[in-house]
Structure 1
Amino acid sequence: MARKSFPSPFDLPTPPGAEGWEGIYPYYLVFQDALKAEEDEKFWFCDSQHWPTVFKPFETIGGEFAVKCLGQYNARHLMIPNANGIEFRVHLGYLYMSPIPVPEDQIPARVPLFEERVGYYFQNWERLLGQWKTKVRATIDEMEGIEFTRLPDVVPTEDITSGKAMDGSERLLEDYDRLIQLCYRNWQYHFEFLNLGYIAYLDFFNFCKEVFPGIPDLAIATMVQGVDMELFKPDDELKELATLAVELGLQNQFTATDDVAGTLAAIAAAPGGDQWIARYEQAQDPWFNFTVGNGFYGHDKYWNEHQEIPLGYIADYIRRVEDGQQILRPVEALVAEKERIVAEYRDLLDGESLATFDAKRELAATAYPYVENHNFYIEHWTMGVFWRKIRQLSRMLHAEGFWTEPDDLLYLGRNEVRDALFDLVTGWGVGAPHRAIGPIHWPAEIERRRTIVDALKTARPAPALNTPPASITEPFTRMLWGITTEQVQSWLGAGDDDGFTGLRGMAASPGVVEGVARVVHDADQLAEVQEGDILVATVTAPSWGPIFGKIKATVTDIGGMMSHAAIVCREYGLPAVTGTGSGSTTIRTGQRLRVDGNAGTVTILDDEAPETSEAVLDGAVR
């Protein structure tokens, strides 16, 4: 029998060892006992699509900036008639969201502002988007110019003779503040066009639902697929490099790609190697500003800092090229299918309805690529530079004795880091024997917080909290996260009495396949994925493109029709079921699955995963 509600956040148990977890996050991010009645009236869902693992305190910056800036474009810039922003809380280490509705009596006043502002963007799309790229790149360049180095023992003589009258510590404090503000700036830019991309698609989506009653959601999505996206450029670069390596006969130089220096030296010494190295170096800027994660965590590994990752992908592509496999995305097939479906539905219309259909579809197709492209510029490139600078700062403070591990700054909140820096410059400036109090205060406190974070990681988050509304209508919640009325009811057990024993989710990318499950909880497990596996994950990252050519299908816990997993799978021609709620915790590696991307169902074909399946053994050997 279906439940009517999810648990209250105030009733969820704290994992053993995580007691006091609320105190490691800013007060405004956690549920407050004084607001219990009010908070329990709201429906909250866990955004494990963007934040699938527990936050360290400093890492909440990504959630704070992203959700705040998303909301401002709905509520303050574009004045979307039926959607304000999203309230958000960190609970037991995970991010929960609750969309804020617009009161019915306020909607009419927002409509003319919305039409004027959105209309201006769509009428000047190419010019404004060009300006956007210039703004974002300028911010990245400014971030690159920031360096955190140890304070000198003595102020340089030229600072005395020039009358500078400052000791240099002001630059350290200013640069930290500037880095935070630059990050915040690019997150505001992030949503300037993203919400417009969703609006254009939703406008086309709603029109199709009106004139074609019963049209499948997938058919609408197919009518904008097969487009060129910059987000796919890093993966395309690797494919080109693999193809060039085969053409130049360099395959044998890719046998030990974990040894980056050795691999590149061997290639450079081989005939034709100089040509390949030149092409490899060309690809790095900017396309290696790419992470195997999603850019929201300080531990994400970026290609330009861990070149064993792209080299490993290239080696795998080389093997597939030699085996005669097609490694390129099936763009021609995707475009052909798009054109077929568009033609079928156009034939059902005439006159003004046909003209409106064409105009709305063209606008959706124009705006659609940005829904993915922003990922490269913000989550990958901007955040890659940001985290590199934060690690540099953390290691400078580590050298000053503030903590025991080089990257322990992540266990401080961003405002606490500002306090630690002032502690450092004060002790240094006055010539104190111990230079600062931080080395006495922070190591024990960080160990306490590390224990709490590790304990929080032992429990998976509840997919949602409190009682859902009778109907979920907020458009972004439905399209991006896949939080629909039907899906939430499925999570509560509705439909369990109809005889279907599998998992239900969003029909996100068409096709039906059977295969062996490969459950991936972390990007470090991607090396275990074998040819023909069905990928099962909390969520996939856009940067997992190099494995999409190996797998048969994808199953995720969260995500809607416009989620990254759904879009990427459609562009790679892979069946996908998103928003299952519990796929990654229900399914085990080695189980055989049937994934129906047309119906949005996942059937487990055997009850138990083999203890030593061939797929598991292969993964362990690799």
Structure 2
Amino acid sequence: MTTTETPIMKSFPKPSELTVPDGAQGWEELYPYHLLFANSPGSDEKFWFCDSQHWPTVFKPFETIGGEFAVKCLGQYNTRHLLIPPANGIEFKIHLGYLYMSPVPVPEEEIPGRVPEFEKRVGHYFQNWDALLDQWREKVRGTIAEMEELRFQPLPDKVPFDDIVSGKAKDGSEVIMENYDRLIQLTYQNWQYHFEFLNLGYLAYLDFFTFAKQVFPNIPDQAVAKMVQGVDMELFKPDDELKQLAVKAVELGLQSAFADTDDVEGTLQAIRDAGGAEWLAQYEAAQDPWFNFTVGNGFYGHDKYWLEHQEIPLGYIKDYIRRVDDGQQILRPVEALIAERDRIIEEYRSLLDGDNAAAFDAKRGLAATAYPYVENHNFYIEHWTMGVFWRKVRELSRVFVQAGFWADEADLFYLNRGEVRDAIFDLVTGWAVGAPASGPSYWPAEIERRRTIFDALNTQRPQPALNTPPEQITEPFTQMLWGITTEQVQQWLSDDDGDDSAVTGMAASPGVVEGRARVVYHADQLSEVQDGEILVATITAPSWGPIFGKIKATVTDIGGMMSHAAIVCREYGLPAVTGTGNGSTTITTGQLIRVDGNAGRVEILEG
């Protein structure tokens, strides 16, 4: 090392070394005891990375449910269902409001003993893939339907006389209590279903990826990814519906009706007045189920769903109409993606013969079959299931608002789920005995105290990782999904403050472009994105499809080759560099940048 080079740090900060933002003292009280490093012996010896890919902002107390259910259920399929030989689950903790993860390895001596069980269990799924996946959709839809039936209503002034006559002998308060517990259970149930196929999708791709690297030692990672691209995914269906509605609006000459899409009723009435009955019928048909879609990722109570905020899909349709009128191509370049896929497959397959060619066909075919689920599950769980969940939680919260427990339906998110259960019993007890409940005098001040802590935590971006990393990061899911590789961790550790002219990450989607950066931290900022800009974000959500039609490229702080950002960018034919660690904090809006999705490098050309 020369004297001019920046020395590489050996480790990231320990959790105890991170500064608590002013006003956030006592933040630990917001979260369950088992999610805190302070209550986890040995946590200072483990390497942790921040999963800002799925949880890019600070948790409110109630919102930890998404992180807890998701990561726990991911772990159960690795550890207890499939017995993946080298990988158990992922340990997870919350620090300063953000979620940190640490993969749990399988002791080397235990790996051989897991292989026969793993092969038998995985083999069953791959041999019966279509039938089991159809069964999966039926199970998930059944759970959602039951969630939709749950009701949370204020208690009556008196029990109906019919209940007296029938001898029902219950006052109705049990319905609120039972429905709350059932809502939690059903959400947990669909999160268990979520991972039944997801890890298999990654495994199938990883098996093909590993084989390709063995028979073609110099094959680029992107060439392997391209061999499964161009598939039809249900996750793209909501965006495709909007595109079809835009084309229909142009065909019917309805453009002027979309002048002010923030006024939903006014827009729909203008379409009606313009003779757009056919368009409105298509619009209504698209809503079930495709408007159960959020501009966020479904993990937060503030995520806005199209079904409840129809100014969002109408605004996207308005922009698509503009682009259709301008003669732009708004559809994904599926034919070009398929042609490129088939070309690459043939190019590499022609180099093989005999058993290797047969293995190549089998493994690539299985990866292509399983690959769509890696994205499709998002619609059914993160979007549809969680959309119903948050809607029902707000319905319950309105009962408390009416009873004076707090002022706004969103205030419930400052309670944890156990406290909500206590509040329900407080509510029904006061109602039953005819005396004031304690909640109205307790919760308003407590919620404001917690809100102050939450706001303070939100002023600070998370550390990308904590403690000392291993010499080599070998866990495949960590590499593929999150982009946490040995090289990328060393890049984060370099602390290269002397050169802000470039950031590096994973070459996630090919192509080289230049353009002005648009840094986006929250979905509410998407309306600021202009045509031809380069999106720079902590992470993108799969639901940002309408934005991908406007931008030139994407840069994210976290994410690997199989992250949502990488997959969606490849399917839209956009260059992408993921897993930069600090792209969104190094690059500023308006800077001219060059994104090289082939090399995983972003150069800052100005400023």
Task: Provide Cα deviations, 1:433-468, integer angstroms capped at 9, x if missing partner.
Answer: x1x111111111111000000000010000000000
SS at match of 2:531: coil
2:265 counterpart of 1:261: yes
Matches of 1:192 and 1:57, distance apart in 2:
27
SS in 2 for 1:517: strand
User: SS at 2:192's partner residue?
Assistant: helix
**Matched residue type, 1:114:** F
Tell me the residue number matched to 1:77.
81
Paired position in structure 1 for 2:135: 131
Distance in 2 of aligned mates of 1:33 and 1:189: 30
Number of residue-to-residue matches in the alignment = 601
Partner of 2:19: 13
Q: CA deviation at 1:494?
A: 8.1
Aligned partner of residue 23 in structure 1, secondary structure: helix
Q: Which amino acid aligns with 1:303?
A: W
Query: Residue 395 of structure 1 contacts residue 407 of structure 1 at CA under 8 Å; is this kept in 2?
Result: no
What amino acid sits opposite 2:339 in the alignment? A
Residue equivalent to 1:143: 147
Give the Cα separation in 2 of the matches to 1:17 and 1:448: 10
Measure, in 2, the Cα distance between the counterparts of 1:53 and 1:300: 12
2:483 corresponds in structure 1 to: 482
Q: CA deviation at 1:158?
A: 1.3
Contact persistence 1:239–1:327 (CA under 8 A): yes
Q: Confirm or deny: 8 A CA contact 2:501 2:605 kept in the other structure.
A: no
Corresponding residue number in structure 1 for 2:458: 457
Q: CA deviation at 1:159?
A: 1.1
Give, in whole Å, the separation in 2 of the partners of 1:284 and 1:368. Answer: 26
Name the structure 2 match of 1:542.
542
**1:334 corresponding residue in structure 2:** 337
For the 8 Å contact 2:507–2:576, the answer to whether it is kept is yes
The residue number in structure 2 matching 1:284 is 287
Offset of residue 406 of structure 1: 2.3
In structure 1, the residue matched to 2:406 is 403
Q: Does 1:348 align with 2:351?
A: yes
CA distance in 2, matches of 1:49, 1:283: 29
Give the distance between the partners of 1:500 and 1:437, measured in 2 at CA.
55
- Name 2:226's counterpart in structure 1: 222
1:200 correspondence with 2:204:
yes
Q: What is the match of residue 433 of structure 2?
A: 430
Correspondence 1:371 to 2:374 = yes
**Cα distance change on mapping 1:34 and 1:570 into 2, 3 Å:** closer
Partner of 1:89, secondary structure, is strand
Aligned residue in 2 for 1:447? 448
Q: Which moved more, 1:576-585 or 1:395-404?
A: 395-404
Q: In the alignment, is the contact (CA less than 8 A) between 1:517 and 1:589 conserved in 2?
A: yes
Instruction: Check whether the contact 2:500–2:586 (CA below 8 A) recurs between aligned residues.
Output: no
TM-score where L is the length of structure 1:
0.96
- Structure 1: distance between partners of 2:45 and 2:547: 42
The aligned residue for residue 120 of structure 2 is 116
| Structure 2 letter corresponding to 1:8 | K
1:304-362 CA-to-partner distances (Å, cap 9, x unmatched) read 00000000000000000000000000000000100111111001100000000000000
AA partner of residue 315 (structure 2): G
Partner of 1:519: 519
User: Could you report, residue by residue, the CA deviation over 1:588-608 in whole angstroms, capped at 9, with x for unpaired residues?
Assistant: 00000000000000000012x
The answer as to whether partners of 1:503 and 1:580 remain within 8 angstroms in 2 is: yes
Q: CA deviation at 1:171?
A: 1.1
Q: What is the Cα deviation at residue 496 of structure 1?
A: 9.0
Greater Cα shift, 500-509 or 596-605: 500-509
Query: Which shifted more, 262-271 or 595-604?
Result: 262-271
Q: Amino acid of the residue matched to residue 332 of structure 1?
A: E
What secondary structure, in the 3-state scheme, does the structure 1 residue paired with 2:17 have? coil
Cα drift, residue 201 of structure 1:
0.3
Q: Partner of 1:244: helix, strand, or coil?
A: helix
Q: Secondary structure at the match of 1:603?
A: strand
Q: 1:33-59 CA deviation, whole Å, 9 max, x = no partner?
A: 672xx1111000000000000000000
| Structure 2 residue 54 is the aligned partner of structure 1 residue 53 | no
1:305 aligned partner: 308
State the distance in 2 between where 1:175 and 1:285 align: 24
* Partners of 1:150 and 1:346 in 2: CA distance: 65
Q: What residue number does 1:510 align with?
A: 510
- 1:159 and 2:160 equivalent? no
In the alignment, the residues of structure 1 paired with residue 413 and residue 527 of structure 2 have an alpha-carbon distance, to the nearest angstrom, of: 27
Per the TM alignment, residue 495 of structure 1 is displaced from its structure 2 partner at its CA by 8.7
Shift of 1:429: 1.1
1:579 maps to 579
- Output the CA distance in 2 between the equivalents of 1:2 and 1:344: 41
Aligned residue in 2 for 1:554: 554
RMSD, aligned α-carbons: 1.1
Unaligned ranges ≥5, structure 1 = 608-622
Q: Does 1:598 align with 2:602?
A: no
Which string of whole-angstrom CA distances, capped at 9 and with x for unpartnered residues, describes residues 509-533 of structure 1?
0000000000011111111111100
SS in 1 for 2:518: strand
Question: How big is each residue's C-alpha offset from its partner over 1:549-582, in whole Å with a ceiling of 9 and x where there is no partner?
Answer: 1100000000000000000000000000000001
Distance 2:143 2:321 in 1: 37
Mapped partners of 1:195, 1:42: distance in 2: 24
Q: Residues of 2 paired with 1:28 and 1:394: CA distance?
A: 26
Q: Identify which of 148, 173, 193 aligns with 2:177.
A: 173
1:418 paired to 2:421: yes
Shift of 1:178: 0.1
Could you tell me the percent identity over the aligned residues? 76
Partner SS state of residue 305, structure 1: coil
Take 2:483 and 2:362, find their aligned partners in 1: how far apart are those partners? 26
SS at match of 2:577: strand
Letter of the 1:397 counterpart: F
1:87 match: secondary structure: strand
Give the partner amino acid of 1:60.
T
Q: Which digits, 9 at most, give the CA deviation of each residue in 1:389-430, with x for residues without a partner?
A: 001111110110111222100000001000000111111111
- Which whole-Å CA distance do the structure 2 matches of 1:398 and 1:447 have between them? 15
Q: Given the superposition, is the C-alpha separation of residues 218 and 404 from structure 1 closer, same or farther in structure 2, using an over 3 Å criterion?
A: same
Q: Which amino acid counterpart does residue 582 of structure 2 have in structure 1?
A: S
CA distance 1:34–1:320, shift in 2 (3 Å): closer
1-side partners of 2:151 and 2:313: how far apart? 27
Long gaps (5+) in structure 2: 1-6
Cα distance in 1, alignment partners of residues 235 and 408 from structure 2: 34
Instruction: Confirm or deny: 8 A CA contact 2:34 2:40 kept in the other structure.
Output: no
The CA deviation at 1:214 is 1.5
The residue number in structure 2 matching 1:619 is none
Give the letter aligned to residue 335 of structure 2. Answer: E
Matched letter for residue 320 of structure 1: R
CA drift of 1:500 comes to 9.3
